[in-house]
């Protein structure tokens, strides 16, 4: 959703963000690791990941953090400013799966919203977290 965010006055506690489906590809996993300068072999070398007990390479936390931030700013629009992103990882994101991000505005005060975000994949809950976002002119309340 890149339609410029919610209409003024639309940022309210209880608002549910539309789900976002993200295909988890090997390229996404490797590119995210490289872009975040995370050279741990479990994020780019399937054979070494298997040697360490993983069925395949898996997404790093920095890529997940970026996807959570993107999800929130895609909803609230290009003027949204992330103030805090706090996440916790669960089930790994492996190539060939799909992660579905969902979110709910838990609190809204002035132009600031606190959004609870959950990302699930085929084996469970990949990420849970809270994002504090400022939405200029968002009319949170």
**If pLDDT is split at 50, 70 and 90, which confidence band does 139 have?**
low
Average pLDDT (36-65) is 96
Interhelix angle 61-76/26-35, nearest 10 degrees? 100
Distance in angstroms (rounded) separating the CA atoms of residues 100 and 108: 24
For residue 58, which phi and psi values (nearest 5 degrees)? -145, 155
Based on its alpha-carbon atoms, the radius of gyration of the chain, rounded to whole angstroms, reads 16
Check residue 5 and give its pLDDT: 52
Instruction: Assess whether pLDDT exceeds 70 at residue 37.
Output: yes
Spatial neighbors of 50 by CB under 8 A, at least 6 apart, are 56
Check residue 70 and give its pLDDT: 97
Q: What is the pLDDT of residues 89-121, one digit of tens each?
A: 999 999 999 999 999 999 999 999 999 999 999
Whole-model pTM: value is 0.89
The structural domains of the chain, with segments of one domain joined by +, span 16-134
Write down the CATH superfamily of domain 16-134: Hotdog Thioesterase (3.10.129.10)
């Amino acid at each position: 959703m890149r339609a410029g965010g919610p209409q003024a006055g639309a940022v309210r506690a209880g608002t549910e963000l539309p789900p976002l489906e993200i295909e988890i590809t090997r390229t996404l996993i490797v590119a995210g690791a490289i872009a975040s300068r995370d050279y741990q072999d479990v994020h780019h070398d399937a054979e070494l990941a298997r040697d360490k007990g993983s069925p395949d390479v898996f997404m790093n936390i920095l890529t997940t953090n970026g996807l959570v931030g993107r999800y929130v700013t895609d909803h609230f629009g290009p003027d949204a400013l992330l103030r805090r992103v706090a996440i916790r990882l669960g089930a790994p994101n492996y190539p060939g799966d799909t992660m579905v991000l969902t979110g709910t505005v838990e609190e809204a005060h002035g132009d600031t919203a606190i959004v609870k975000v959950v990302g699930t994949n085929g084996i469970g809950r990949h990420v849970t977290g809270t994002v504090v976002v400022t939405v200029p002119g968002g009319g949170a309340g």
